[in-house]
Amino acid sequence: MTRQAHDLPERLLAGDRRALAKAITLIESTRPADRAAAEALLTTILPATGKAIRIGLSGTPGAGKSTFIEAFGQYLTGLGRRVAVLAVDPSSRRSGGSILGDKTRMEQLSRNPAAFIRPSPSSGELGGVARRTRETILAVEAAGFDTVLVETVGVGQSETAVADMTDLFALIHAPGGGDELQGVKRGIMELADIVIVNKADGDLLPAARRSAADLQAALHLMRPKHPGWTVPVLQVSALAPRGIEQVWTAVEAFQATLGPAGLAAARRDQARAWMWSDVRDGLLQAFSDDPEISKAAQTLERDVATGKLPPPQAAQQLLRLFRKA
Ligand code: GDP
């Protein structure tokens, strides 16, 4: 297999899906040669990126994320948009690909020529999965997708990572009693730009109304994330589907409120944070790859655990070793 076809950037920029799949394979690879090829590719395509609206979407398992993305994606392609669906799920290997691992979760969208669905990179911890997803966003944008949906499960740190790589973060809830609402982590609610109460249909309609009112009340008590933007709570039925268009209307209203300058400023901050996050990852990697440091670290860990050495002093010793290496 030729690992790095020379016409890959041109084919990617022309919207060739096989080229896109290949580019993402390079991006997700951990082989040093592939990493170098992926970085070269990203540098070449960079001018053609950044034109999509990037939307993060999170909710607990069963809230209806995939059903909603299916309906929302179909609605958006109906408007003539091209939709890429990506996922950040660092636990996907453990749970056997719980998220987007199975394309039948979005049956129509996965067969839709104006849509592209990519499961979460399955290996590694959150930092690595998030980094590869950020790069994949650039690849799908270069291939001409103008709407990027990044899905994540409503557990752990992954919401923050997704909110940091998207323009807008939507939280999707299933109707539930007060108890469930208490389980909604405040920190995650604070990330939300749009809140969606799904399953507002049939017997669940009254519960959906109550949940929407409770969520609205909870949001009122929170510090606004963006001045001038009031987080809407939208009731939809992804299954029907019903109310899907109001989500897109809210996305457009959000864009209009922030304006091109506001959105661009947020992306500049994200780009800077991404660079430093890669520096931190790279430094830690270099640190743990160094056999001399690993050996010393074992002894030093023991020494700080038993109180023989203050942790700051042990850290300084390791850093001195690293600088000499
Ligand atoms: P995910 O785990 O968040 O991706 O949730 P799914 O999209 O797989 O949906 C979980 C369950 O909720 C499935 O049985 C869906 O059929 C159901 N569901 C999803 N959306 C709706 C909806 O709008 N109304 C109703 N009544 N059920 C829904």
pLDDT band at 1 (very low <50, low <70, confident <90, very high): very low
What pLDDT, in 10s, does the model give residues 278-317?
899 889 888 888 999 999 999 999 999 999 999 999 999 9
pTM recorded for the entire structure: 0.90
Structural domains in the chain, sorted by start: 1-47 (1.20.5.170), 49-258 (3.40.50.300), 290-324 (no CATH)
For residues 106, 83, 116, 37, the Cα torsion angle rounded to the nearest 10 degrees is -140
- State the pairing for strand pair 115-117/194-197: unpaired
How far does the centroid of ligand 1 lie from the alpha carbon of residue 125, in Å? 28
What pLDDT, in 10s, does the model give residues 197-251?
999 999 999 999 999 999 999 898 888 888 899 999 999 999 999 999 999 999 9
Judge whether residue 14 has pLDDT over 50.
yes
pLDDT band at 94 (very low <50, low <70, confident <90, very high): very low
Binding site membership of 89 for ligand 1 (Cβ less than 6 Å): no
pLDDT of residue 145: 98
Binding site membership of 199 for ligand 1 (Cβ less than 6 Å): yes
pLDDT band at 325 (very low <50, low <70, confident <90, very high): confident
Average pLDDT over residues 270-274: 93
Q: In sequence order, which residues have a C-beta less than 8 Å from that of residue 146 and are 6 or more positions away?
A: 51, 52, 53, 81, 82
Tell which one of 58, 66, 67 to mutate to probe ligand 1, the residue whose CB is within 8 A of the most ligand atoms. Answer: 67
